[in-house]
């Protein structure tokens, strides 16, 4: 168990733009997805859905959604900027979208369902990194785009994208970033 603590104490994301796109082993991907859904979920409502975007789908979505929507919302964008958006998902070997799909329930608060969706993203990220993959949890402009929500099978009136988990390979160990001082963010109540 100490290995888990040591891993969590030094866990570090690799930015998607610094990933190398190699194959993710299918058994590893299955393990990552299985770990992703093992989260606190009051009432076992499963207020989320996981969509693994792989292979040609990454570029198709890049062409059909990312490039078109970016250009629509940024009419003065350069061709380089549009191409950057088009190839965005291709940075990773696989991108797992976590779609938050709230469930109507008389006793379980909406907020708890949102937290459960965030926990899915966190579990996916940690599972991928624990297997040695480069991984990053992203929510950029396209996480708030209705066309992307529809592409993932969601309803823009009710569903949200909790995050995209980019998974690939790394060519070097990331540099540690600034972390909060424990004294500034942790308090104890003892009486």
| 34 CB neighbour count, 10 Å cutoff | 11
pLDDT for 10 beyond 90? no
What value does the mean pLDDT of the chain take?
93
Bridge pairing between strands 94-100 and 134-138: unpaired
**In contact, 22 and 84? CB cutoff 8 Å:** no
State the pLDDT at residue 178: 82
Q: Among positive and negative, which fits the CA dihedral 4, 7, 8, 14? A: negative
What fold does the segment set 11-185 form as a domain? Answer: NADH Oxidase (3.40.109)
Average pLDDT over residues 121-132: 96
pLDDT for 23 beyond 90? no
State the pLDDT at residue 61: 98
Helix axis angle, 110-130 to 2-10, nearest 10°:
100
CA pair distance 88, 190, nearest whole angstrom: 49
Q: Which residues contact 94 (CB under 8 A, 6 or more apart)?
A: 24, 29, 52, 53, 54, 167, 168
Residue by residue, what is the 3-state secondary structure of 26-77?
HHHHHHHHHHHCCCCCHHHCCCEEEEEECCHHHHHHHHHHHHHHHHHHCCCC
Could you report the per-residue pLDDT of 127-183, keeping only the tens digit for each?
Answer: 999 999 999 999 999 999 999 999 999 999 999 999 999 999 987 777 777 888 888
State the pLDDT at residue 181: 86
pLDDT for 185 beyond 80? yes
| 190 CB neighbour count, 10 Å cutoff | 3
Could you report the per-residue pLDDT of 79-101, keeping only the tens digit for each?
Answer: 999 999 999 999 999 999 999 99
Average pLDDT over residues 102-125: 95
Phi and psi (nearest 5°) for 107? -120, -20
State the pLDDT at residue 4: 87
Average pLDDT over residues 55-80: 97
Whole-number Cα distances in Å, 179 to 17, 52, 182, 183, 185: 21, 30, 9, 12, 11
> How far out from the chain centre does Cα 113 lie?
17
State the pLDDT at residue 182: 85
Average pLDDT over residues 122-128: 97
Q: Give the residue extent of every domain in the chain.
A: 11-185
Largest CA distance in the chain: 62
């Amino acid at each position: 168990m100490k290995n888990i603590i040591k891993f969590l104490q030094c866990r570090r994301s690799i930015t998607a733009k610094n990933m190398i796109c190699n194959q993710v082993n299918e058994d590893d991907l299955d393990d990552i997805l299985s770990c992703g859904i093992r989260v606190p979920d009051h009432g076992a409502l499963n207020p989320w859905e996981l969509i693994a975007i792989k292979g040609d789908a990454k570029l198709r979505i890049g062409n059909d959604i990312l490039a078109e929507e970016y250009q629509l919302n940024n009419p003065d964008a350069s061709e380089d900027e549009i191409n950057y958006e088009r190839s965005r998902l291709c940075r990773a070997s696989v991108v797992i979208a976590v779609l938050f799909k709230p469930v109507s329930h008389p006793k379980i608060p909406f907020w708890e369902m949102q937290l459960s969706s965030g926990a899915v993203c966190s579990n996916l990220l940690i599972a991928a990194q624990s297997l040695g993959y480069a991984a990053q949890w992203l929510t950029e402009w396209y996480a708030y785009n209705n066309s992307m929500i529809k592409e993932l099978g969601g309803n823009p009136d009710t569903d949200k994208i909790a995050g995209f988990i980019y998974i690939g390979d790394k060519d070097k160990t990331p540099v540690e970033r600034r972390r909060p001082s424990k004294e500034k963010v942790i308090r104890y109540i003892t009486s």
